[in-house]
Structure 1
Amino acid sequence: AEAYAAAADAAADRGLDLPEGMTGAGWATEITQTYPFHPALIRVLDKRLSTIPNFQRTRGALRLLARVIRRLWNERPDGVGLIHLHHVDLADKVISEELSSRLERPQFEPVIRADVASQPGSEPSHAERVDERMGSRYGRRLATAIYLYSLTRDVPGVPVAELYGAVLAPGDDPNLMQRALEGLEESCWYLHSDVRGYRFSTEASLVKLIQEAEREVSVTKARAHATKILANQFRDGVLKVRRAWENAKVPDNADDAWLVIFHWDDFGDARGVDPHGPIPAKVRELWERTAAGGKREYRNRLVILAPSRGTHDSMVRAVRTHLALEALSGNAETRAALGDDKWNDLKNRLEESKLLARIAVCNHVNVLYVPTASGLETVELDVVTQASVRPNQTDAIVERLEAMDKTLAAGDKPLDPGYVKAKLGALLTTSQPTMELVRAFARRTDLKMVFDRAQLVALVAAGVRNGVWEYQDPERGDEGWATKDRPTTAVRLAEDTYLHPVGSAPAPKEQLCPFCGTSHPGVGCPDTVDTPGGSGSSGGGVTVLVPTRFTGSGAAGKAFVDARTAAAEAGRAALRELVVEIDHVGEGAGTELARLHTIVPTGTLGVRLVYDVEASVSLSSDPSETALVRYHGSPTDYAPLREALKQLLAPRQATLRARIHAVFENPLQLSGEEVNQLAQRASDTGPTKCTITFVTEGET
């Protein structure tokens, strides 16, 4: 008795949920009074089984206990301090009939065999399979106790604390006991749990329904759906995505950075690669050769993602479960057979399975090949969890590259021009187009992958200021030169602008002021005045900045990067206005509209924001039944319309044109953190297809 009391106190201290009566000195006293039987066994016989008319309270209990004691005496198992509920061996045909058929409950016999205890020579029960996986006996012990608690005319079932208390013995591991109960919940066909606790019944559980539905989903169908998940999970962003099973011809140019994804079917029966083995030939071939068979020049614009062997089956299982739940949730007969609680449980499981299927696909396709100074490096990606899975998993690839210090993106620390010149060696000892710098970063795998060309614009400008090289834009004549002594010219990356060795620039000519006829470098002409005419006015005066527009199209993340890069390459530094427009036809208009409105959050300080929405929604198959919505105004005034428009658009075909127009009171620096945050939101939650326009300061 003292050993049992000590075991209960220790288990409670470790967090095991137990009845109040099992902690403290009173528990040892109760055990002494019922010895050699566990108090829970006596309570079940006296308060549960005795309520069934066919169970003889005295003779039936004595007959049952006699057979239990005889088996224990013959088998003499180790460590039996008390006779528990789980010592009622339901594998014994006589005992199982005593507790099913003789109680006029023959339908419980299949429940016993499927979930609790099997007959010798037959398939193991689900509880026995749990024990096989865990290397313990907790599964069958718990299942036996739950079954006996389920035999009553009153409310069947046992609260979890009472269940643990009925099974707990000295030397038991509370953690393993809890894991075993979780295993039963995940595998038993007739086990149910609710506010009353755990119980067995003849009604099939969701587990059984799901397993039967899973058998209807072929492996081929599961793999096909997994392919769809893979395609949707990795989309264009900073990296453009090329799916090798759709089109393995990856362009060889310095413009775009590519993420190429291989399919598990590309690797035969292994369904993946060994992340610790040599690089597969087809991966290396793609990286080294173009589609035409020539040598790939721009290898530093290519990262490759492949599935890992050993994780394919777990992915298929997760996707099969999701498809099975989808089928059940769409089945009218299933809905009619399930009560509200089980139906809600099914819907919750469906939502969870959708996420788990995405996670399983990401964890299967998790071997990344990255260009480095020594060639392709194999990187095994971190395990994806519910907390870390992304709306666009391409972002996780970019983050891993950032962690490897492989990327040069907006907001990163600028490169040292002297370091870059030393790395490029002979290339910059002669005059070169500035685009050759772009190509050099695309060729050289020992350099960073450039995701923001504005960084290269800044690099060129810094090299001029530091006297590393000189810059020339021939279109601007003598004014197109930038040197250490006069570094003010705006840098443009192009085939017709050049980097020259230091000392190449001609001596500057003296420039005479067109207003006063004298030279006063760096100082405004005293004869000029501020006029509203600006540089386009015949009245002359101080020139004004002229807004210049730069546009990008496609997925919001890519469109934002393209517009930003174009602005930076033109020498622009500040963002004055941002316009994002969508033009959508078909289903999903509500989702695209919601995505549009995430890029610039309402209430952002220093921003004047205007919404424009024009939607034509088909209400039925009759073309005349159409709803038209037009809105122009502030987000505040739009708020009452938001939910109504969402409900209108959600299930219907629609034609949607919408835009947001943000005007910044204080222009944002293109390479600054605020613009980085806009870029991140565009990539994470922006529209799948849109046009983004930057309005920046102009040249003077």
Structure 2
Amino acid sequence: MATLTEKTATLPTFQRVRGMLRLLAKMISSVWAQRPAATYALHSHHLDLGYGPLYNEVLTRWQQSDYAPAVKADVAGTDHTALAQELDAQFYAGLPPYTTYVARTLFLHSLAYNDDLKGLSREHLRYACLAPELKIEFLDQARDKFLTESGYLDDRPGPLLRFQIAPNLTNLLRREAQKVDPGEVRAQLNDRIRDLFKGKTFNAVPFASDGYDVPDDDGNGKPYLVIIGYDAAEVAEVAVTVPPLVEKLFTLKSGGGEWRKKKNHVVFLLVDAARKETIHQQMIRHLALKTLQHHEGLATHQQATVQELYERSKSEAVSAIQQAYRHVLYPAKYGVEGTTVELAHSAIDLPSAAAQPGDGEKQVVRQLQAVKKLRIAGDEPDSPTYIRDRTPLKKGKITTAELREEFRRDVALPMLVGDEVFVRGLRRGIEQGEYVYQRGQLWWGKDDPPAEIKIDEQSWIFTTAYAREHDLYPRSPFKV
């Protein structure tokens, strides 16, 4: 009665004695119909707003409909389960509905005209809810759980607990995050990863699980970038190893055990073990904000805040993925220590990973260029003498097609994107007098007019020494 006379009575729409009698009559009707256990007197926690007459009395007759979203979400749902009911089902099944009692009491004490009258302290809440057969420790537990999860309790610093009309965005977001479907998180993350590392330099192969997934061909001139699923394998920066899945994909091109030939044409990108959970949580937050945009109880300024947070979460999720996928395993003569496969490791530093949000492939390209593994159009080719001594060209001759193929096989050679760097390297070797090019009747050596270099089985590269030794070049003007 003190609550009704000291708080509720301050509402202009509350009719004091008549209003009290009408409210108490409907509460008695509700209690009589439901016969809740351990009920020996009428308490404020018997204000069942899931009971139609009481709901209409409080929210309609008292003109408190602004609180309808709070009631629906936290106190009592008619066509769904409210938060208090969910917590009771989870923690107090077979016991009195402690959380519902807490929520009802808090709500009734929140209805007052003056702000300083709204709400009650933790001690007062315990006192208001106490009744025979209700355990204090359960009431305190229910209170703490409800305070943590509620989407409409006032979260501003202060001694009083009370509902507010506008939702508590922090708690609402936390609750929505708990409801996000793990399958949807996985699907959305996979979609973002696919889009993020798709580009023009590599043929992206996301989430390969078997050698069949990674072709062993020329890839139309582009190497293969194999993005390993974040839940399939990872790399710990403090103890780098080559995961068994990566070793299998690098070694075999099919599940039947056929060996991969073009090992220098494939690169692996893996997630950092310490950052795997971060991308998971960022995607949960993004999906929770997406759902929260449609929450019916948000005020106009809160809708704007949620929209801003949602838009920001898009770039934050992308940035988190780029920073997490920072481990590159690439073909090299000297691999990771302690492994038998020819794969070296390089980690993209975090500033570089975040430098160009949305272009994940670019950071991989930069890293491979930094370790002098990747050559793209415009890069300098290796010296002609190195190529001669490292490849079968050291025997004296090789077709241009076979020499180009050697760059896809030999892990000690640079990885080439397209043929521009390869052709420029041959041209430089010819101009420096190291090579001689021949196709049919066409011969091109140092000081000869330039010719077009074709990459096929009919075009040959000779070392100048071999060509002279076998009297192939320079061509004698008298030779028929």
Query: Considering the TM-score relative to the shorter chain, is it more than 0.5?
Result: yes
The CA deviation at 1:208 is 1.9
In structure 1, the partner of 2:15 is: none
Residue 390 in structure 1 maps to residue 357 in structure 2: yes
CA distance in 1, matches of 2:473, 2:412: 31
Tell me the TM-score normalized by structure 2.
Answer: 0.61
In structure 2, the partner of 1:418 is: 385
Q: How does 1:421-460 map to 2 (within 5 A)?
A: 421-424=388-391, 426-460=392-426
Q: Specify the code of the residue in structure 2 equivalent to 1:216.
A: K
The CA deviation at 1:400 is 0.8
Query: Which of 353, 365, 371 is the matching residue for 1:404?
Result: 371
Q: How does 1:669-688 map to 2 (within 5 A)?
A: none
The 3-state SS of whatever aligns with 2:412 is: coil
CA distance in 2, matches of 1:409, 1:359: 25
Q: Specify the code of the residue in structure 2 equivalent to 1:507.
A: R
Greater RCO, CA 8 A, separation 6+: 2
Change (3 A) 1:121 1:380: farther
Deviation string, structure 1 residues 23-81 (Cα, Å, up to 9, x no partner): xxxxxxxxxxxxxxxxxxxxxxxxxxxxxx9xxxxxxxxxxxxxxxxxxxxxxxxxxxx
In structure 2, the partner of 1:318 is: 282
Change (3 A) 1:400 1:498: same
CA distance in 1, matches of 2:211, 2:311: 33
Query: Which of 292, 295, 298 is the matching residue for 1:338?
Result: 298
The CA deviation at 1:403 is 1.2
In structure 1, the partner of 2:231 is: 265
In structure 2, the partner of 1:295 is: 259
In structure 1, the partner of 2:117 is: 104
Q: How does 1:10-25 map to 2 (within 5 A)?
A: none
Query: Which of 299, 305, 329 is the matching residue for 2:269?
Result: 305
The CA deviation at 1:217 is 0.5
In structure 1, the partner of 2:473 is: 505
| Stretch moving more, 484-493 or 454-463 | 484-493
Contact 1:242 1:259 (C-alpha < 8 Å) held by counterparts? yes
Q: Specify the code of the residue in structure 1 equivalent to 2:419.
A: R
The CA deviation at 1:107 is 6.0
Deviation string, structure 1 residues 120-155 (Cα, Å, up to 9, x no partner): 9749979x99xxxxxxxxxxxxx88x437xx9xxxx
Contact 2:282 2:316 (C-alpha < 8 Å) held by counterparts? yes
In structure 1, the partner of 2:428 is: 462
In structure 1, the partner of 2:200 is: 237
Deviation string, structure 1 residues 456-491 (Cα, Å, up to 9, x no partner): 1111111111111210111xx2xx100124152222
Deviation string, structure 1 residues 79-133 (Cα, Å, up to 9, x no partner): xxxxxxxxxxxxxxxxxx9xx89953226769x99xxxx999749979x99xxxx
Change (3 A) 1:412 1:245: closer
Change (3 A) 1:294 1:344: same
Change (3 A) 1:337 1:107: farther
Q: Specify the code of the residue in structure 2 equivalent to 1:237.
A: K
Contact 1:242 1:248 (C-alpha < 8 Å) held by counterparts? no
Query: Which of 118, 142, 158 is the matching residue for 1:147?
Result: 158
The CA deviation at 1:246 is 7.9
In structure 1, the partner of 2:320 is: 360
In structure 2, the partner of 1:283 is: 246
The CA deviation at 1:296 is 1.6
The CA deviation at 1:299 is 1.0
The CA deviation at 1:302 is 0.6
The 3-state SS of whatever aligns with 1:204 is: coil
The CA deviation at 1:402 is 1.0
CA distance in 1, matches of 2:375, 2:250: 21
The CA deviation at 1:383 is 2.6
In structure 2, the partner of 1:61 is: none
Q: Specify the code of the residue in structure 2 equivalent to 1:319.
A: M
CA distance in 2, matches of 1:386, 1:418: 36
The CA deviation at 1:210 is 1.3
Change (3 A) 1:122 1:388: farther
Change (3 A) 1:393 1:108: farther
CA distance in 1, matches of 2:143, 2:243: 42
The 3-state SS of whatever aligns with 1:147 is: coil
Aligned-residue sequence identity (percent) comes to 21
The 3-state SS of whatever aligns with 1:265 is: coil
In structure 1, the partner of 2:168 is: 205
Contact 1:107 1:202 (C-alpha < 8 Å) held by counterparts? no
Higher strand proportion (structure 1 or 2): 1
The CA deviation at 1:219 is 2.2
The 3-state SS of whatever aligns with 1:303 is: strand
Moved over 6 A (4+): 118-121, 123-126
In structure 1, the partner of 2:453 is: 491
Change (3 A) 1:315 1:124: farther
CA distance in 2, matches of 1:261, 1:290: 16
In structure 2, the partner of 1:371 is: 331
Higher helix proportion (structure 1 or 2): 2
For structure 2, the residue ranges without an aligned partner over 5 or more in a row are 1-9, 11-105, 127-136, 149-154, 335-341
Contact 2:235 2:241 (C-alpha < 8 Å) held by counterparts? no
Contact 1:241 1:258 (C-alpha < 8 Å) held by counterparts? yes
CA distance in 1, matches of 2:289, 2:183: 17
Deviation string, structure 1 residues 188-231 (Cα, Å, up to 9, x no partner): x99xxxxxxxxx95642221221121122122321221111111
Change (3 A) 1:120 1:413: farther
In structure 1, the partner of 2:310 is: 350
CA distance in 1, matches of 2:182, 2:452: 59
Change (3 A) 1:349 1:508: farther
Change (3 A) 1:418 1:262: same
CA distance in 1, matches of 2:303, 2:120: 25
Corresponding residue pairs, total: 333
CA distance in 1, matches of 2:222, 2:167: 55
The 3-state SS of whatever aligns with 1:402 is: helix
CA distance in 1, matches of 2:388, 2:216: 24
The 3-state SS of whatever aligns with 2:176 is: helix
For structure 1, the residue ranges without an aligned partner over 5 or more in a row are 1-52, 54-96, 130-142, 152-188, 191-199, 511-700
Contact 1:390 1:396 (C-alpha < 8 Å) held by counterparts? no
Contact 1:219 1:316 (C-alpha < 8 Å) held by counterparts? no
Contact 1:304 1:369 (C-alpha < 8 Å) held by counterparts? yes
CA distance in 2, matches of 1:494, 1:209: 65
CA distance in 2, matches of 1:323, 1:385: 27
The CA deviation at 1:241 is 0.4
Change (3 A) 1:485 1:105: closer
Tell me the TM-score normalized by structure 1.
Answer: 0.43
Q: How does 1:627-638 map to 2 (within 5 A)?
A: none
CA distance in 2, matches of 1:322, 1:384: 23
Change (3 A) 1:201 1:384: farther
CA distance in 2, matches of 1:320, 1:386: 22
The 3-state SS of whatever aligns with 1:489 is: coil
Contact 1:239 1:258 (C-alpha < 8 Å) held by counterparts? yes
